[in-house]
Amino acid sequence: MLTLTSPQVVQETALRWKKDGKKIAFVPTMGALHDGHLKLVEAAKALGNKVIVSIFVNPLQFGPTEDLKKYPRPIESDSAKLEKLEIDVLFHPSEKEFYPEHFSTRVNVSKLTDALCGNFRPGHFEGVATVCLKLFQITQADFAIFGEKDFQQLRVLQQLASDLNLPLAVVPHPILRDADGLALSSRNAYLSSEQREKALKLSAAGRAAMKRYFEYPRSTVKDVLSTAAAVLEVPGIRIEYLELASENNLTPATHDTLISDISFPRLFMAAWVGETRLIDNQPLDRRSDAMDAPENIA
Ligand code: AMP
């Protein structure tokens, strides 16, 4: 595994590979790697002949009051994990190398960013779209793998790739969960053991919503949301949003809509446990059986 910090050197390397007919699979991350990230890397290895993983805590996607400074950066252990997986390049630029002085471009994907996290994190998806478009250019990726953990992010990048005719496939990967249901996240490291117990309510809310819909296929959005909200009603949890939307447009459905009338219905939530903001989501159609599939449990 080569560790490179220069965007230009990574791009030159990638262009050489392309000339040799290689397919490049790319996994962008902010580091503090857990098994969820590593599953994405394994998926990348299956898709491409060459694999690039980036570790870059992107300042553009953090709001002024968010956790940019305290975000974990255990680069040595991250690097050892990637070395073990035998990837080709770890791209780990400094902030200055990545965003030189006078960097002025911003990428804005509209509509899909209007709801859910977009409502509460102004500028976040602009930061995500900007960093990803730049990373796609640098890595010359044929495949970019994104976790469904950040479902809105995944959809925004699919839209970006389609709108701008990017020659790459944005490939989704299911959420990896701990055996108790908690979606793996670098931010789980902020949780005390007591808070971690509370955090389990997010995945429990998703399971309860799914069960409600499966048992009562004529459930409305209101029925399912109140089932999920009841699970989250615990001291120490503050719900930021809890919505049901189609995966296609991410527009929250009105409460009297029948779930069965929504194509690809998915429950989306963000909640604060102490100072930690957690997100989770749960598909409500039959594919959600995959939630309990052994390969999606760490
Ligand atoms: P991050 O380092 O948090 O920016 O995440 C990098 C990539 O890993 C994103 O595509 C995330 O959606 C994905 N990811 C993070 N946690 C998980 C998880 N528990 N399961 C699947 N993918 C994940």
Percent over 70 (pLDDT), the chain: 97
- On the question of pLDDT at 291 being above 80, the answer is no
CA atoms of 1 and 262, how far apart (whole Å): 45
Cα distances (angstroms) measured from residue 36 to each of 73, 93, 238, 242: 17, 22, 25, 23
pLDDT at 9: 98
Residue from 205, 176, 218 nearest 270 by CA: 205
Q: What is the pTM of this model?
A: 0.97
81 lines ligand 1 (CB under 6 A): no
Q: What counts of helices (H) and strands (E) characterise the chain?
A: 9, 9
183 lines ligand 1 (CB under 6 A): yes
Residue from 219, 199, 214, 109 nearest 153 by CA: 109
pLDDT at 63: 97
- Over residues 21-39, the mean pLDDT reads 98
CA atoms of 264 and 262, how far apart (whole Å): 6
Which atom of ligand 1 lies at the shortest distance from residue 175's CA?
20
User: Ligand 1, from 35, 37, 156: best to mutate by most atoms within 8 Å of Cβ?
Assistant: 37
- On the question of pLDDT at 170 being above 70, the answer is yes
Phi, psi at 91, each rounded to 5°: -100, 115
Centroid of chain to Cα 40: 11
CA atoms of 243 and 255, how far apart (whole Å): 10
Q: What's the mean per-residue pLDDT of the chain?
A: 96
- Over residues 85-111, the mean pLDDT reads 98
pLDDT at 297: 74
Tell me which residues are annotated as active site: 37
- On the question of pLDDT at 121 being above 80, the answer is yes
Please work out, in degrees rounded to the nearest 5, the angle formed at the alpha carbon of residue 231 by the alpha carbons of 229 and 234: 95
CA atoms of 257 and 188, how far apart (whole Å): 34
User: Ligand 1, from 29, 58, 125, 295: best to mutate by most atoms within 8 Å of Cβ?
Assistant: 29
26 lines ligand 1 (CB under 6 A): no
Sequence-distant (6+) residues with CB within 8 A of 236 are 195, 198, 273, 274
Tokens representing 152 are 């809105």
CA of 29 to the centre of ligand 1 (A): 7
36 lines ligand 1 (CB under 6 A): yes
Q: At what angle do helices 221-232 and 193-215 cross, to 10 degrees?
A: 160
54 lines ligand 1 (CB under 6 A): no
CA atoms of 86 and 140, how far apart (whole Å): 20
Task: Answer whether 89's CB lies under 8 Å from 2's CB.
Answer: yes
61 lines ligand 1 (CB under 6 A): no
Q: Which amino acid residue places its CA nearest to atom 6 of ligand 1?
A: 29
pLDDT at 228: 98
Q: Which amino acid residue places its CA nearest to atom 14 of ligand 1?
A: 147
Which residue type occupies 263?
S
At 295, is the pLDDT very low, low, confident or very high (cuts 50, 70, 90)? Answer: confident
